[in-house]
Structure 1
Amino acid sequence: MSTPGTPTVGVLALQGDVREHLAALTAAGTRPRPVRRPEELAGVDGLVIPGGESTTISKLAVAFGLMEPLRARVRAGLPVYGTCAGMIMVADKILDGREDQETVGGVDMIVRRNAFGRQNESFEAAVDMAGVEGGPVEGVFIRAPWVESVGARAEVLATYAGHAVAVRQGRVLATSFHPELTGDHRVHALFAAMVRAARGDDAGRIAHDR
């Protein structure tokens, strides 16, 4: 763990839009760094699992020896934010995945892969998201999943076209869409507040765990 001060937030850097998350986390007032190895994971106060290809991220996490350390840290209360493929990675159950596909888990939800369509059906839409002030966020949906259902412990923060697209359970946040691609850093600021709350920082107490 990092010492008191600016929280260190890792971005799982196995595949996907890592650079964009690093920039958004910097703008949100954290100290970001890529995470590829278990020892790098051990030094962060929070973690972003980026968009990309969920099956590839899953396979690489296993290959790099990260899957079990990730699960252990989530169980221990590490704040995690998953976008798109990252949402799939933090789901306890997925639909339309490969038979050998593994997830980290952490959110009691069922997520359907590629539910909003293929790459050429990508779109942007305004999304009202609980916990984010200042009006809707611009959601970029790229081969995006949606949430089929949530358990009692999970809270739906946003819906689009009748489907849940943002969910939180305790210290784990997930969105179907990519706020890191828009220049609007409010969702990352929400996650940064969650990280600070987990550390007990005064600046993060607005985001106490539910």
Structure 2
Amino acid sequence: MLALQGGVREHERMLDGLGATVVRVRRPEELAGVDGLVIPGGESTVIARLAALAGLTGPIRVAIGAGMPMLGTCAGLILLADALEDAAAGQETFGGLDIVARRNAFGAQTESFETLLDVPDMGEEPVRAAFIRGPVVASLGPAASALARHDDGRIVAVEQGALLATAFHPELTGETRFHERFLGQVRAAAA
């Protein structure tokens, strides 16, 4: 769990409930000791700055290149994007997903909402998704696959190899399928 800022506890509770051992990552040596990484929602510019200050940006990029499974939610999707349509001045991402992300695509925090999404790869039951200043995938490259779209057609969940990202917060609605999929990737990579 990248534990620099954001919804760390909510993801920890979800992962604990699924039987995973959670380690908070704040330094490169902690990253070296984990098999997968969750990048939680929060403020993407703050997380990026704190990761740079902690010396984690380069090691996370190396881990992505080496195939470490990662799950990014909301700000995590932004940070896993190869490019940003509306980057804040000097904002960097870790990259890895062949997407261009647009931050705050659903408006201000006061415009947060929950909705049901069809995610065929996650089964027939709709996914309850909480959007809080959520991003969207503005452009999807050929290496990435769309997993879910909002009712208006915008892409809100993607996957590419061992990287999985959502524009919403499954950890806030009790939706376990994304975390289960991530843990399956972690187990497969460790085998």
Q: Which 4+ residue blocks in structure 1 deviate beyond 4 angstroms?
A: none
2:162 corresponds to: 171
Q: How many residues align?
A: 190
TM-score by length of 1: 0.88
Change (3 A) 1:196 1:130: farther
1:34 corresponds to: 24
**Aligned counterpart in structure 2 of residue 99 of structure 1, from 76, 79, 89:** 89
The two structures, once aligned, show a CA RMSD in angstroms of 0.9
2:112 corresponds to: 122
1:198 corresponds to: 189
CA distance in 1, matches of 2:63, 2:36: 10
TM-score by length of 2: 0.97
**Aligned counterpart in structure 2 of residue 135 of structure 1, from 119, 122, 125:** 125
Which has the larger share of strand?
A: 1
**Aligned counterpart in structure 2 of residue 21 of structure 1, from 7, 11, 14:** 11
Higher relative contact order structure (alpha carbons within 8 Å, sequence separation ≥ 6): 2
Which amino acid counterpart does residue 71 of structure 1 have in structure 2?
A: R
Task: Check whether the contact 1:131–1:190 (CA below 8 A) recurs between aligned residues.
Answer: no
**Aligned counterpart in structure 2 of residue 74 of structure 1, from 61, 64, 74:** 64
SS at match of 1:98: coil
CA distance in 2, matches of 1:112, 1:57: 17
The one-character-per-residue Cα deviations of 1:50-76 (angstroms, maximum 9, x if unpaired) are 000000000000001100000011101
Deviation at 1:129, TM superposition (A): 1.6
CA distance in 2, matches of 1:138, 1:49: 20
